[in-house]
Chain A
Amino acid sequence: MNVAGVDCGAKSAKVLILGDEKVLARVAVLSGFDPKAAAAQALDEALKQAGLSRGDLSHVTATGTGKNEVVFATSEITEVGADARAVIVLFPAARTVIDIGAEEGRAIRISPEGKVIDFAINEKCAAGAGTFTETMARTLEVAVEDMGPLSLKSQNAVPMNAQCAVFAESEVVSLIHAKHSKEDIARAVHDAMADRIASMARKIGIDKSIVLVGGMAKNVGFVNSLQRNLKEEILIPENPEYSCALGAALTAAERAKGA
């Protein structure tokens, strides 16, 4: 039985296809201004990768900010539910999930059965999401992929107070003028973001094990900052940005069986 999970996020649409509980394909396409088209393109590319056609899929479950744009989906699930579903399969001992995507940061406490006990999501401010790092990378004139490795070379912890992406940008400019190194500023950005995320996670209570997913889990600098802040080991799956898509696909498989 083949099923697909589609995570139509703020920055990219991700599709993951499962065939008999094995991952057959993973594809991400930038959402741009047309998330509907991006989701369709991601599905077609994933099907091609898996050697399947749309008719071969028993069920498609959509999640993400743009889940309503996934017109070909059979059902939907929230990002919170999808994350919980995926992480409990990847790490059965997980009790806290932190997901940092482009637009949103989430902390979820889950039961041993993978049931959501409580959750918190960052508010309107972008300072708790991946877009924040991108903006700061632009200000520092470095590629966003280099922000993580760069921050690991930092020799000094520079405090950065701003909790808002707009104020943080002007603070970064001030730090540049104060001749702080790019390495130290990159670390300050990640530390500030980790502060915000850790505070959100503490609101719902943190239980071990902690799993980090979402695109920001690929940023080694942020992971380092968050680990130092939480003083706990953080587990990261192989393809962390596909967590929601995997959760959606697992849900699709369940629903296909139940149908």
Chain B
Amino acid sequence: MKPTYKTEPLRCWAKAKEIRQDYYKNYALAHEKGGLRWAGGAWSFDAIPAGLGDDVYPLTGEPYAAAIAWDKEFALQCHEAVEKAGYARDLCSYMRNYWGSIILNKYVFGGEFPKPDFIWQDHICCSHAKWYQVVRDLEGQDIPMYCLDVSVGPYEELTDNRLDYVVGQMHDGIEWLEKVTGRRFDDERLIRAVSNHCRSTALWAEVCALNKAIPAPLDEKTMYSLYVLGTLQKSSGIVADFTEELRDEVKDRVARGIAAVPNERCRVMSDTQPPWGFLKIFRYLEQYGCVSVGSLYTFGLIGQWEVKADGTWGARTTPEQMGIVIRDRDQALRVLASWELKKPEWQHFYSPQAKSEMMIRIAKEWTLDGVLLHYNRGCEGLSLGIAENRLAMIKAGFPVIVFEGNMGDEREFDEIQTLKRIDAFMESQGFEKDSQ
């Protein structure tokens, strides 16, 4: 079948790969440069340790564990090592991948696992704080650890007291950082990092919003490789600048009608982390002319959104765009906490209904034909209420296909069965493979 649309590779693709490679290399080689390493989650407030200097390098756990999942052989070695050490198989699979990498003392990008100098974490789900307590069990109790409690409820219920609770912990955390690193905290660096954080996350939302266009300029498999930079270090100028460059390129693709999938005739979204070792399912969808334009996960884990005047979702207006000038530490921390606690992925920890509403909004505004739900056994947090989301989507008139799997443990994913489900779903929706 002749493609309907023009397509072309992303010009900034190589740059995204380079930034990611540098990130993991910088962490591993931090000590050689006289710098520091810190470990924590992709949700941690990374703008704060940035106040310690430009040579303080993070390793965020979830994307690192996803990189392990992509390397199926190593992932299996990690799982076996963790199970042999006595940890249960049904725990968060990111956490298990990460621990396995420590137990085996192998960094997935080569060499020994680089031990962090300190841990900077926040407790977003049942696993996140425990994750790094076990890291200390495995790596040594001498690694200082700080963990913020962020359980202040959904953003719409955020009160001054609740915000104070988080900001207070941030202030304490800065004193703690100075104590454990022996470095003086630089508020100017913090202010710059907070500004970058807001810029990266609003720009990512802008990129995702551009995918409302038909044909979609980006497909979700490609988006995974781009949004990941925000999970690594959203407060870095490099990430913010790259996301701006990406936004400009995607805007240009929309203007010129450049498609991610040249035979696009069906649009779906997914949900939660995908089975990272099997992203080829997205390429399989393309045989039906089906493009996954994103998901609440891809849009909302990093992206910051707001309802625009016309009632649709768009990128959140940054403090800078609103004319707010951040002058001191307290203001920077307040802006950071208030900004970050609003992101969509925080909200649905508190309510599957809120998640359904956001998903239905995406399905309508991004003009979707269906939904591909991953019953992800690897993440209890993001899978919470997913069966209710399925019912809500069906009720709203969007057909849903579900498949079981695990973002980080391929033993719980059945590739053939999943492809069979996709075939049945596509057939039931009247779509045929191009080859037929």
How many residue pairs link A and B with beta carbons under 8 A? The number is: 39
Interface centre among A65, A119, A123 (most CB of B within 10 A): A123
Contact status B424-A124, CB under 8 Å: no
Stretch in contact with the other chain, from B4-12, B224-232, B413-421: B413-421
Q: Are B404 and A123 in contact (CB under 8 A)?
A: yes
CB distance from B423 to the nearest CB of A (A): 5
Identify which of residues 107-154 in chain A touch chain B, using a CB-to-CB cut-off of 8 Å. 115-121, 123-124
Q: Which residue of A lies closest to B399 (CB)?
A: A118
Q: Does A184 belong to the interface (CB within 8 Å)?
A: no
In the complex, chain A residues whose CB is within 8 Å of the CB of B414:
123-124
Is there contact, CB below 8 Å, between B417 and A81? no
Min CB distance, B278 to chain A, in Å?
14
Q: Are the C-beta atoms of B404 and A78 separated by less than 8 Å? A: no
Bound-complex Cα distance A117 to B401 (A): 11
B328 within 8 A of A: no
By beta carbon, the residue of chain A nearest B423 is: A78
Rounded to whole angstroms, the CA-CA distance of A77 and B423 in the bound complex is 9
Complex alpha-carbon distance, A120 and B373, angstroms = 13
A121 to B412, CA, bound (A): 16
B161 sits at the interface (CB 8 A): no
Contact B404 A116 (CB under 8 A): no
A115 nearest in chain B by CB position: B428
> Which one, B394, B417, B428, contacts A121 given CB within 8 A?
B417
Closest residue of A by beta carbon distance from B413: A124
In the complex, whether A248 has a CB less than 8 A from a CB of chain B is no
Please tell me if B427 contacts chain A, counting CB pairs below 8 Å: yes
Complex Cα gap A121–B404 (Å): 11
- Contact, CB under 8 Å: B421 / A116: no
In this assembly, does B321 line the interface, its C-beta being within 8 Å of a C-beta of chain A? no
B428–A119 CB distance below 8 A: yes
Contact A81 B404 (CB under 8 A): no
CB-CB under 8 A from A118, the residues of chain B are: 394, 399-400
Complex CA–CA separation, A97 to B421 (angstroms): 16
**Contact: B399 with A75, CB < 8 Å?**
no
Chain B residues, CB < 8 A from A65: 416, 420
Per the 8 Å Cβ criterion, residues 4-27 of B in contact with A are none
A79 contacts which chain B residues (CB < 8 A)? 420, 424
Asked if A80 is an interface residue, CB under 8 A from chain B, the answer is: yes
- The interface residues of chain A lying within 8 Å CB-to-CB of B423 are 78
* Partner among A80, A115, A123 whose Cβ is within 8 Å of the Cβ of B424: A80
User: Looking across the interface, which residue of chain B has its beta carbon closest to that of A78?
Assistant: B424
Min C-beta distance of B433 to chain A, whole Å: 10
A209 vs B412: C-alpha distance when bound (angstroms): 35
Is A75 in contact with B436, judged by CB distance below 8 angstroms?
yes
Whether A78 contacts B427 by the Cβ 8 Å rule is yes
- Bound together, the chains give a CA A81 to CA B428 distance in angstroms of 7
A80 to B417, CA, bound (A): 13
Residue in A closest to B402 when the chains form the complex, CB atoms = A120
Contact of B417 among A75, A116, A120, A124 (CB under 8 A): A124
Closest to B416 in A: A65
Tell me whether chain A's interface is mostly helix, strand or loop, or mixed: mixed
Contact: A123 with B399, CB < 8 Å? no
Q: Which residues of chain A from 1 to 58 have any CB-CB distance to chain B below 8 Å in the complex? A: none
Residues of A contacting B404 in the complex (Cβ-Cβ under 8 angstroms): 123-124
Q: Interface residue count for B (Cβ, 8 Å)? A: 17
Q: A75-B436, A124-B417 are in contact. Are A119 and B399 (CB under 8 A)?
A: no
Instruction: Give the residues in chain B near A115, CB-CB below 8 Å.
Output: 428
Query: A81 touching B424 by the CB < 8 A rule?
Result: yes
CB distance from A7 to the nearest CB of B (A): 14
Report the minimal beta-carbon distance from A61 to chain B, rounded to whole angstroms: 12
User: CA A65 – CA B414 in complex, angstroms?
Assistant: 13
Contact B417 A119 (CB under 8 A): no
Q: Which residues of A contact B428 (CB under 8 A)?
A: 80-81, 115-117, 119
How far in angstroms is the closest Cβ of chain B from A102?
A: 14
- The residue of chain A having its C-beta at the shortest distance from the C-beta of B411 within the complex is A124
Bound Cα distance A124, B404 (Å): 9
Taking the nearest CB of chain B, how far is it from the CB of A82, in angstroms? Answer: 10
Interface string of B39-78 (1 = CB under 8 A from A): 0000000000000000000000000000000000000000
Closest Cβ neighbor of B436 among chain A residues: A75
Interface-centre pick from B399, B400, B417 (highest chain A CB count, 10 A): B417
Question: Nearest-CB distance from B374 to chain A (Å)?
Answer: 13
Report which residue of B402, B425, B428 has the largest number of chain A beta carbons within 10 angstroms of its beta carbon.
B428
User: Across the interface, which residues of A come within 8 angstroms of B402, CB to CB?
Assistant: 120
Those of A67-111 within 8 Å (CB) of chain B = 75, 77-81
Q: Are A121 and B427 in contact (CB under 8 A)?
A: no
Select B427's contact among A80, A117, A123, A124, beta carbons within 8 Å: A80
Over the window 162-187 of chain B, the binary record of Cβ atoms lying under 8 Å from chain A Cβ atoms (1 yes, 0 no) is 00000000000000000000000000
Looking at the assembled complex, report how far the CB atom of A100 sits from the nearest CB atom of chain B, in whole angstroms.
Answer: 16
Give the shortest distance, in Å, between B139 (CB) and chain A (any CB). Answer: 35
**Complex formed: what's the CA distance from A119 to B427 in Å?**
12
Please, which residues of chain A bring their CB within 8 A of the CB of B412? 124
Q: Which residue of B lies closest to A76 (CB)?
A: B436
Q: Which of B379-427 contact A (CB under 8 A)?
A: 394, 399-400, 402, 404, 412, 414, 416-417, 420-421, 423-425, 427
Q: Separation in Å of the B194 CB from the closest CB of chain A?
A: 45
Q: Which residue of A lies closest to B400 (CB)?
A: A118
CB distance from B430 to the nearest CB of A (A): 9
Shortest A236–chain B CB gap in Å is 23
Q: Chain A 185-198 against B: per-residue CB contact (8 Å), 1 yes, 0 no? A: 00000000000000
Q: Which residues of B contact A119 (CB under 8 A)?
A: 424-425, 428
The CA of A116 and the CA of B412, in the complex, are separated in Å by 27
- For B425, give the chain A residue with the smallest CB separation: A119
Q: Chain A residues in contact with chain B, CB under 8 A?
A: 65, 75, 77-81, 115-121, 123-124
Query: Can you name 19 A-B pairs with beta carbons within 8 Å?
Result: A78-B424, A78-B427, A79-B424, A80-B427, A80-B428, A81-B428, A116-B424, A116-B427, A116-B428, A117-B428, A119-B424, A119-B425, A119-B428, A120-B402, A121-B424, A123-B414, A123-B417, A124-B404, A124-B414
16 new A-B pairs (CB below 8 Å) besides A116-B427, A123-B414? A75-B436, A77-B427, A78-B420, A78-B423, A78-B424, A78-B427, A79-B420, A81-B424, A81-B427, A81-B428, A116-B428, A118-B399, A121-B424, A124-B404, A124-B412, A124-B414
